[in-house]
Chains A and B, each alone.
Chain A
Amino acid sequence: MQLTDSPKLFTTMWAIGTILFILVAGYILASVAKFVIRQQGGSRTLQEKTFLGYFFASPWILGFFIFVLGPSLMSLYWSFTNYRISEPIVWVGLKNYSDLMQDNRFITSMFNSLYMTVIGVPLQLAAGLGMAMLLNQKIRGQTAFRAIFYMPVLLASSTAVLFTWRLMLNPNNGVINTIFRWFNETPLYYLNASFIFLTELTSALLVALQIRNFTIVERILSNGFPGPERVPLWLGSEGLAFLWNKPSVVVIMMWSAGAMMIIYLAALSGVPQSLYEAAEVDGAGPWKRFRHITLPMIAPATFYNLIIGMIATLQIFEPAVTLVRDGGQNQSLYFAAYYLWRATFRFNQIGYGAAMSWVLLIIVLMMTFVQFKLSNRWVYYESE
C-alpha cells in the first residue's frame, strides 16, 4: 500500500473509516448485549442501560481484541517458535525461554533496571516529594513555580532534549563538569569527592553482583578517596565511565520528577492541617511531623509513584540511542525495551523477542504483586 503521494490523505481516510467502523461495530456490539439482556428477561431500562454502556465502551472493547488480546496470543505462540520474518515457523518449545536465562545481554538489562529501581526511582521520588513540599508552602507565584517544576516532564522524553543533556553531561567540556570543577577549587571539594566516591561505589557494587566478581569494587576502594582533579565521567565511554552512564540517566529522571510531584501535591493537599497543628502543640519538631504525619499520610501516593517508576525502568529506550553510542560502554544503558527492540528489529529474532516480552510481563506482575504485599505494611489508606 504505497500511497507515497499523499500519506496524510491515506491516513485521514483510514481515520474516517475507523470512526465509521467503531460506530457500526459498537452499535452491533451494543445491540447484541441488549439482545442478550432481553433474552434473560431484563427490564426495559436495563436493556437501555446495557446498550448505552456497551456502545460507549465499545472503542476500548474492540481495541482490546484487535490490538491487545489478538497480538498477545500471537506473541505467546511465537515465543515457543523460532519465528523470523519470511522464514518458516518452527516450534522450538521452551528453547527461547531457556536461552533468555543465559543471555548475558538480557541479564545485563535486568541488572540495569535493578540499579534504576534501587537507586534511580527512590531519588526521583525524593526529588518529586521535595518539590511538592516546597510548593505546598503556599508561596507567592505558586502557579508559575508549579508550571516550571512540571515542564521538564514534557521535555524529558524528547530526543531533542536528550541531546542537550548529552552536550551538558560531556565529562570533558560539558557545562555541568565545568561547574563541578569550580567547586573542586573550594572547600566544597569534599562534597564533590564524596559524591563521586559514593556513586562509583554503588554502581560498582551492582556490576559486581551481576558478574559475581568483586574486583571492580576493590579497584574503586584502592583508587581511594577522589582527589580534586576528579570529575564525574557521566556519558563518557572509556575507563570507569560505565559506572556513570546510569547515574547520568538518574540525573535526568530527577530533573523530570514533576509528574511525581503532581501526585504528591494532590496527596499533600489531602493531609488535614489539624494533624500538624495538633502535633506541633504536642511539641513535635518538623522532622518528627514529617516522619510521623506527612510520610504515612502520603504513602498511597508513594506507592503509586513507586510502581509506575519501577515499571518505567524496564522501558527506558531513548537514552540508549541518544545519550550514548549503541547502548553505552559495557552495555550500561541496555534496558529491556531497548534489547527487545534490537532483538526483534536488528537481529530479526521475532520468536525470541516474543519470549522476552512475556518474561517482562511476568516480572512486572511479580513486582506489582510484591509491592502490593509489602505495601500492606506501610501504606496507610484513609478508608481503613
Chain B
Amino acid sequence: MTAVNNEQIIPVTTRSVRRRALNRTGRQRVIHTVSYLLAIGLSAVLVFPLFWMVSTSFKTMSEANAPKPVWIPAAPQLDAYAQIWANPDWLLYISNTVFVTIVAVGGTLISVTAVAYAFGRLQWPGRNFIFYLMLGTLMLPVQTTLVPQYVLFNWMGWIDTFNPITIPGFFAGGAAMIFLLRQFLMSIPRELDEAALIDGANQWQIFWYIILPLMKPAMVTVGLFILVGTWNSLQFPLIYLQSKGLHTLPIAILNLINPQATTQPWPLIMATSLIAVLPLIVIFMFAQRYFTESIVLTGSKG
C-alpha cells in the first residue's frame, strides 16, 4: 500500500501553506457545524425506538394500535404499570433475571480476568498453543455444542435449574472476553511488574495490587458485555428454564405475545420491555466512560 509520506510537505511554499490553513479553519467550522447537526439528527433516529416504547407503554389499547399512529398519548395511562405492580410474577421474573446476571457476571468476570492474566502477563510453557486453541474456539458456532451440552446438563440433572446459564461462565466462558482483556493487559507497561518484583513482591501480589486496579476500565467493559449478554439472552433460557418460576424477563415478555389471542397487550408489553431495558441503560450510562476508553486503548494496541 502506498501511503503519502510526511516528506512530501516540504516543497510547498510557506505562503500557500498559510492560505490553505486559513481556508481550512473556515471550512472546518462548517464541517463541524454540519457534523454536529448530523449527530443530533442521528441521535434522534437512534433513540426513537426507545421513545416509542415509552410512549406506547402509556397508551390505551386502542391508541397503541391506532390506524394513524398516536405519537404522544392524549391522556397517559398507568394501567400497564399498575398491572405489573399488581402481579407478583413480574417481581419473580425480575429477581430471576437479576440473580442469573449477578451469578454469571461474577463468575465469568473473575475467571476471565484470571485467564487473561495468564495469557497476557505470565510466561509459561504451552501458553501460545493454548492461547491459539482458545482463539480457535471463537470460530466454533455455539450450536455445535448446544445439543451435547443439553444432554450433559440433562445427565447432571441441571435441566430446569439456573445452572446451565450460570455455571459454565465460571469456566472462563467467552473467548472473546479473554482476548479483549489480554489485549488490554499487553498495553500495561511491563516495567510496573519488574519494579514490583525488585521491591520483593510475588506474582500474586503483583496481580492483586498492581494489575487488578489498572484493569478496572477493561473489567468494567467486559463486565458490561457479559451483563448485557446474560440479561438479554433468550435462546439458552428458553431451552433450560422450563418452569414458570424460573423464567427470566426475556422469556416472560415473549410469553406475553400469544399467537392464539386476538389482541396483544401492547402497552403492557412495552411497559415490561421498558423495565427490562432501563437497568441496562442506567448501568451503561455509569460504565460508558470506562467502556469506550478501554476499547479504544485495546484497539489501538492490537
Contact = CB atoms under 8 A, between A and B. Distances in A.
The answer to whether A and B touch in the complex, with CB atoms under 8 Å apart, is yes
Interface of A: 1-4, 7-8, 10-12, 14-15, 18-19, 22, 33, 37, 42, 46, 49-50, 52-57, 59-64, 66-68, 70-72, 74-75, 78, 85, 131, 134-135, 137, 139-141, 143, 145-155, 157-161, 163-165, 167-168, 172-175, 178, 255, 262-263, 265-267, 269-270, 274-275, 277-282, 293, 296-297, 300-301, 311, 314-315, 317-318, 321-322, 325, 336-337, 340-341, 344-345, 350, 353-354, 356-358, 360-361, 364-365, 368, 380, 384
Nearest to B6: A274
Given A11-B167, A145-B39, A255-B46, A262 B295 contact: yes
A244 B149 CA distance: 35
B295 A59 contact: no
Given A60-B134, A60-B171, A15 B254 contact: no
Nearest to B65: A173
Interface stretch (B78-86, B186-194, B212-220, B267-275): B267-275
B76 interface: no
B88 interface: no
24 contacts: A8-B99, A15-B166, A18-B170, A37-B125, A68-B137, A71-B148, A72-B145, A137-B35, A147-B285, A154-B284, A155-B280, A157-B229, A158-B232, A159-B232, A163-B269, A164-B270, A173-B67, A255-B46, A266-B298, A275-B3, A275-B4, A280-B20, A300-B302, A361-B140
Contacts of A49: 122-124
Contacts of A353: 143, 146-147
A307 B96 CA distance: 34
Given A59-B115, A154-B284, 16 more contacts: A33-B125, A52-B118, A52-B124, A53-B124, A56-B115, A70-B152, A71-B144, A75-B144, A78-B147, A134-B38, A137-B31, A157-B232, A160-B273, A178-B69, A278-B5, A325-B259
Contact of A269 (B56, B111, B300): B300
A51 B5 CA distance: 49
B18 to A, nearest CB: 12
Looking at chain B, what size class is its interface with the partner chain?
Answer: 35 or more
Contact of B288 (A37, A59, A66, A150): A150
A274 B20 CA distance: 15
Contacts of A46: 125
Nearest to B154: A85
Contacts of A55: 118
Contacts of B195: none
A3 B46 contact: no
Contacts of A340: 143, 146
Contacts of B149: 67, 71
Contacts of A354: 147-148
Interface in B165-204: 166-168, 170-173, 178, 203
A357 B111 contact: no
Given A163-B253, A296-B3, A135 B39 contact: yes
A153 B233 CA distance: 13
Nearest to B229: A157
Contacts of B296: 262, 265-266, 269
Interface string B210-253: 00000000000000000011011111000100010110011001
Contacts of A15: 103, 107, 166-167, 170
A333 to B, nearest CB: 15
Nearest to A146: B292
Contacts of B295: 262-263, 266
Given A74-B151, A173-B68, A336 B143 contact: yes
Nearest to B231: A158
The 9 closest A-B pairs by CB, nearest first: A63-B171, A53-B124, A266-B299, A160-B273, A71-B148, A56-B118, A1-B157, A59-B111, A57-B118
A255 B49 contact: yes
A300 B302 CA distance: 10
A160 to B, nearest CB: 3
A14 B167 contact: yes
Given A64-B137, A149-B43, A281-B8, A11 B162 contact: yes
Given A75-B147, A150-B288, A267 B69 contact: no
Contacts of B291: 150
A59 B68 contact: no
B36 interface: yes
B58 interface: no
Nearest to B40: A145
B22 interface: no
B234 A317 contact: yes
B158 interface: yes
Contacts of B151: 74, 85, 350
B261 interface: no
B133 A64 contact: yes
B275 to A, nearest CB: 8
B122 A53 contact: yes
B26 interface: no
A274 B53 CA distance: 46
A7 to B, nearest CB: 6
A50 B125 contact: yes
Nearest to B8: A278
Nearest to A73: B148
B141 A361 contact: yes
